[in-house]
Structure 1
Amino acid sequence: MITSKETEERNTKMMRGVILPGNSTVEFRELPIPQPGKGQVLVKIKASSICGSDIRAIYREHLGTGDEKYRNVIAGHEPCGIIVSVGECCKRFRIGDRVIIYHISGCGLCWDCQQGYMISCHSPDTRAAYGWQRDGGHAPYLLAEENTCIALPNNLTYDDGALIACGFGTVWEALTRVNVNGKDRVLVTGLGPVGLAACMLARALGAQSIFGLDISAERKALAKELKVVDAIVETIDQTLILTDQQGCEVTIDCSGSPQGRHFALEATRQWGRCVFVGEGNNVQFDVSPLLIHKQITLYGSWVTSLGHMTELTERLSRWNLHPEMIVTHRFLLDEAEKAYKIAAEGHCGKVVIVFNDDE
């Protein structure tokens, strides 16, 4: 239990957080530990993982513009921790509650927000992503809106929660949107952390078989080691041989590359479903033979909703399935520059920044 003395001491302290200047480096900034206002909670961060979107759009260079521009705030939009202070008018969470933080805070009033899809909120005045437009999880404490918090069950770890906060939530949305089930053979192009998550969850949903594609030898080896794929494929011909010359009922591109997207479309069987999850880049293809004549349904899927992330968390708890199994590197906050460098190389599983109790 947090005492009033501990709260008073925290109010006078500073904390150190990670800033991303956009030139493939990390900087640290000293800031006062924030205090929760109305409807807000202060979360002591226990785990904060690094997302591929952070690497692509902030770490290497600042690609966002307008309302989605990085605002030189503390980085990290995949935070998980424990509540240590609660502001006025909070309705559910209390001090000592373990929480995952859905990484977008929206206006709460538009249609998308009311459906739980704060990621799609278009309010320029109130929409703000943790780690992009408001301070994120790469610091010992994070000020969060209570309505972006999701309870973390006791049998899931803080690392599990951090991975649910973005990557696992994102592929859960995609998999449920295309209704992956026991009748499906699934191909995942791109076996980075998001692709590995897609394989894990497709298996949990009962997919008949799962195939993976990647250009990184290390990531292909990791997928085999974790036993999240039944086979690694290199060519369309190999994929067809493994699927009785039909292709896969479901294909998921997590690579964000033109080649990975094209491969996914080629490997989708007639009347199948293909979903693009990986961000950035583009793709060119001959529409008639590859999409129209094959009667393929092509989906775009962006993050998930609060409701679906809550559903995923409950399922993972019930299945006793731990996202942290794809974590290959853990670093303390002071090692953040090394953590980002390894994540940016694109040959590992998930990279997580973890925190000691004395931070």
Structure 2
Amino acid sequence: MRGVFLPGNSTTEIRELPDPEPGPGQVLLAMKASTICGSDIRAIYREHLQGDPAEMYQGVVAGHEPAGQVVAVGPGTTRLQVGDRVCVYHISGCGQCDDCVRGYQISCSSPLRAAYGWQRDGGHGDLILAQERDCIVLPDFVTYLDGACVACGFGTAYEGLLRAGVSGRDALAVVGLGPVGLAAGLLGGKLGATPRVGFDPSPERRALAVQLGAVDAAYAPDQLDEARATLGGGAHVAVDCSGSEPGRGTAIAVVRARGRVVLVGEGNGLRVPEVSPTLIHPSITLIGSWVTSLEHMRELVERLPHWGLHPEVVVSDVFPIAEAGAAYQVADAARSGKVALVP
């Protein structure tokens, strides 16, 4: 099998590897779609970020957003069988701690915790070895590209919206219109939020967000007054998907009094020059949200057919594994939608 590795320095390598065999409780998947995440670009593709154990790349096959078809099962598997179509929750935890039992394997603190594409082989290969418990079966309506988009980006956006309790009572602002921001806008619409506006410095991304129906209008970060007017005086909920200090500032600035701000985008920096007039007096609620749970990811997959929503609409570029280098260059440019690898 082929596998894509990320040596750092904005480079990729394709290596030939022996085909893996499933052990107890494992399944072997033929990769059908594997999308590229912004965290891979930020922390692995450009440079190997060391320090946070959750971001210590171990020189494995890259890609933590895979979907594929079961081609072999190991001893002790009870739920999946050959031919099943699945997406993979991208962190495999110990399965025993409180966080894992609740489905938040992302928060598992056991030494056994291993993220696909970071500490164990991921989806940028012809085959993927996965724990059966990490796999979510895809309904017929949901394509492999849909499943790959759900595996991280759409799941992350959905969790943030759920934590903020987004509903038809809310006007929604999305800051950062990359793939996660597009997901937040599309899902926010399905949850009833209206109107929805987006912010991004990239005119290409602003245009794509409106074209896809992720937002009703999109603005540059310096167009706060125009955005507030569209929102009827400000957003009830603002979701920052940019992970940048200026983006978080925009999210806080665009919400109305007693609004909720969800911080989804990874990255450092939150500057609030005057806390009392900015946060305390308007009673702004700040919510941190990291990835999602197995339960909510399964719930999202089951809701997609009822909503008539294909997450793959955010995929703007598809490359074969052999062209992984070109795929990462497009993703790194941050002017497109989601970028995917296929067999």
TM over 0.5: yes
1:309 aligns to what SS in structure 2?
helix
1:300 lines up with 2:288 in the alignment: yes
In structure 2, the residue matched to 1:57 is 43
Q: Which among 239, 259, 275 is matched to residue 272 of structure 1?
A: 259
Q: What's the CA shift for 1:281?
A: 2.8
Q: What's the CA shift for 1:210?
A: 0.3
In structure 1, the residue matched to 2:167 is 181
**Mean alpha-carbon deviation: is it higher for 281-290 or for 164-173?**
281-290
User: Structure 2: which amino acid aligns with 1:330?
Assistant: V
1:281 aligns to what SS in structure 2?
coil
TM-score under structure 1 normalisation? 0.93
Q: What's the CA shift for 1:240?
A: 2.4
Cα distance in 1 for residues equivalent to 2:337 and 2:121: 25
The answer as to whether partners of 2:180 and 2:241 remain within 8 angstroms in 1 is yes
In structure 1, the residue matched to 2:6 is 20
The answer as to whether partners of 2:32 and 2:342 remain within 8 angstroms in 1 is yes
Cα distance in 2 for residues equivalent to 1:233 and 1:211: 8
TM-score under structure 2 normalisation? 0.97
Cα distance in 2 for residues equivalent to 1:325 and 1:243: 25
1:76 aligns to what SS in structure 2?
coil
2:95 aligns to what SS in structure 1?
coil
1:87 lines up with 2:74 in the alignment: yes
Q: What's the CA shift for 1:247?
A: 1.3
1:63 aligns to what SS in structure 2?
coil
Cα distance in 2 for residues equivalent to 1:142 and 1:249: 41
The answer as to whether partners of 2:224 and 2:254 remain within 8 angstroms in 1 is yes
Which structure's CA Rg is the greater one? 1
Alignment gaps of 5+ in structure 1? 1-14
1:169 lines up with 2:155 in the alignment: yes
In structure 2, the residue matched to 1:338 is 326
Q: How does 1:1-359 map to 2 (within 5 A)?
A: 15-65=1-51, 67-68=53-54, 69-124=56-111, 126-234=112-220, 235-244=223-232, 246-285=233-272, 286-355=274-343
Alignment RMSD, CA only? 0.9
Q: What's the CA shift for 1:66?
A: 5.5
The answer as to whether partners of 2:207 and 2:218 remain within 8 angstroms in 1 is no
**Mean alpha-carbon deviation: is it higher for 85-94 or for 221-230?**
221-230
Q: What's the CA shift for 1:174?
A: 0.4
1:21 aligns to what SS in structure 2?
strand
What is the identity percentage for the equivalent residue pairs of Structure 1 and Structure 2?
57
Alignment gaps of 5+ in structure 2? none
CA deviation vs aligned residue, 1:249-274 (integer Å, no higher than 9, x gap): 00000011111100100111111110
